[in-house]
Structure 1
């Protein structure tokens, strides 16, 4: 990727260092974009408010100011906390998000690690966040933190199953685990013999898309699946004892994960960086592709936050029942139907 863009030969360690720097910068940047556009502005307009207006033009620097405020706050450790585990837990959550960014392509040659099993790798590393959440809940020496951590872990484990099963239908249809291959299958596909817009899988895998979006909402512990962090239910969840920079790290991880999951959904169901009218191998897509990808990510992110601000919170029993009794059976039916139709047609 970097050799193509820079036009010079780089050593492996230099190329890796550049990729790590780019990915590391993407997480806070994506958190700022989604936090400002959706959390501060879209929610405000939905509720007939203006949102922040004083910090910079149109309140653009509000989140920057909040970040500076968090950095100035004291880093407090509870007296009985396991200090090393407590300190490292937020970074485990963010590392999980960083690793997902590595596999999401934004152009024909713009991808951190173009592995042939990109879908499997991205979904596998996304599970690391469960470990960080359990570390935070257990190490805080607070029963409410522990309760929130256990609820969050149970929720994430339950909703990872429909998340993965929703992707299986896409993999069957595309006949590849490669994220670039899935984009290519949508670009080169046809709908009723017409290939003008390819075959975006959101049409043929609409059920899988809906399941994937619901599972993303649960993975982010956002409303209506925010029981693990609900202040009115268990004081504040697994991060209740965190202050300053470490609490900010959880916030960055949440919004960064929303951004990268929206990117995954864009690749799997909306054709990713490809846009009709361009050849898959066109170098122009290394310039246009990121812009197309960003637009699709913002659209999917809008859906995520729209649901967050619309639906009421589910009880813990309703949350688990919905995953095991509704989403998983429906996703299995979708897989069977996709397999049958793939063989027939």
Structure 2
């Protein structure tokens, strides 16, 4: 790798990090506004025009908040855990293509890296997120935090299998692990129409993976105070908070890439050059789905959460994979 390529890689990584952190900040505002409207309220509307500066005010508040370290905390793991969660959330986005290969800005493509095992990279990196949660819950020295960490570990293990199986059907259809190849293979038809069971399984598993309602058992306020981040405050809490919302953006982007054609336009006559715009619009649809679920559905009981993952989604994922493999083998 030349110095020019390395410098371009660093600049794109920096821009991606800044964009994801900005998306996290204004995703919180979007969520608060949307849920407020669903509940016949206004939401934040005091800081800036129509409340648009509220995320900045929240960030300043968290930056200056006092952070109290528990007496029984296991440092330095206690300090490392939130940073690990945030780093993993950002890194997983590196191989997702936001635009076609023909589209460039100053010679730079719309992705940080284009590797031939892109989806394996995403799955391997995202599986590390549980370490940040588990270490944070255990090192806090709080029984509620530990219980939330254990719940999160069990939940992620249970639903990660189904989520991976749902993506295998897409990989078989595309005959590639490279993210750009998967998008290119959806020029004629999006895989969501060929993999409806896989898409449904992925959506359910993705909600459980990021610990969002109705699968927010690891931080159930009525039972565990705040779960694994009970003993965190200030910027350390902000890191956990940012990791959750960036993970939402990541799983939504994966769904867009794997099932909805990525940057491909929704209609054939629309210009491909606006690929990043089509990509963002599709991701926003998924993010609104996260908000809608939170405002609509109550939290599941933990036994039903496990039953859904092991007794329903996992067998359905295996069945979908078998049927897809047979059909592809017969057609080819």
Q: Distance in 2 between matches of 1:258 and 1:266?
A: 12
1:182-240: per-residue Cα shift (whole Å, max 9, x none)?
A: 111111xxxxxxxxxx2111111111111111111101111111111001012210000
Aligned to 2:12: 19
Q: Distance in 1 between matches of 2:304 and 2:268?
A: 46
Aligned to 2:185: 185
How far has the Cα of 1:14 moved from its partner?
Answer: 1.2
Q: Distance in 1 between matches of 2:13 and 2:119?
A: 20
Aligned to 1:79: 71
Secondary structure of 1:337's counterpart equals helix
Q: Distance in 1 between matches of 2:23 and 2:196?
A: 26
1:261 has 2:247 as partner: no
Calculate the TM-score normalised by the size of structure 2: 0.93
Aligned to 2:286: 300
Q: Distance in 1 between matches of 2:317 and 2:89?
A: 25
1:330 has 2:316 as partner: yes
Q: Distance in 2 between matches of 1:105 and 1:170?
A: 16
Aligned to 1:191: none
Secondary structure of 1:162's counterpart equals helix
Aligned counterpart in structure 2 of residue 95 of structure 1, from 71, 79, 87: 87
Aligned to 1:195: none
1:174 has 2:174 as partner: yes
Q: Distance in 1 between matches of 2:63 and 2:269?
A: 45
Q: Distance in 2 between matches of 1:23 and 1:110?
A: 10
How far has the Cα of 1:62 moved from its partner?
Answer: 1.3
Calculate the TM-score normalised by the size of structure 1: 0.90
Aligned counterpart in structure 1 of residue 213 of structure 2, from 203, 206, 223: 223
Trace 1:38-187 onto structure 2 (pairs within 5 A).
39-108=31-100, 109-187=109-187
Task: Say if 1:147 and 1:238, in contact at 8 Å, map to a contact too.
Answer: yes
How far has the Cα of 1:277 moved from its partner?
Answer: 4.1
Aligned to 1:190: none
Secondary structure of 1:202's counterpart equals coil
Aligned to 1:289: 275
How many aligned residue pairs are there? Answer: 321
Aligned to 2:106: none
Q: Distance in 2 between matches of 1:253 and 1:302?
A: 18
Instruction: Give ranges in structure 2 of 5+ residues lacking alignment.
Output: 101-108
Q: Distance in 1 between matches of 2:233 and 2:297?
A: 29
Secondary structure of 1:89's counterpart equals helix
Q: Distance in 1 between matches of 2:291 and 2:94?
A: 24
How far has the Cα of 1:176 moved from its partner?
Answer: 0.9
Secondary structure of 1:83's counterpart equals coil
| CA RMSD of superposed structures (Å) | 1.5
Task: Say if 1:71 and 1:244, in contact at 8 Å, map to a contact too.
Answer: yes
Q: Distance in 1 between matches of 2:225 and 2:41?
A: 27
Secondary structure of 2:282's counterpart equals helix
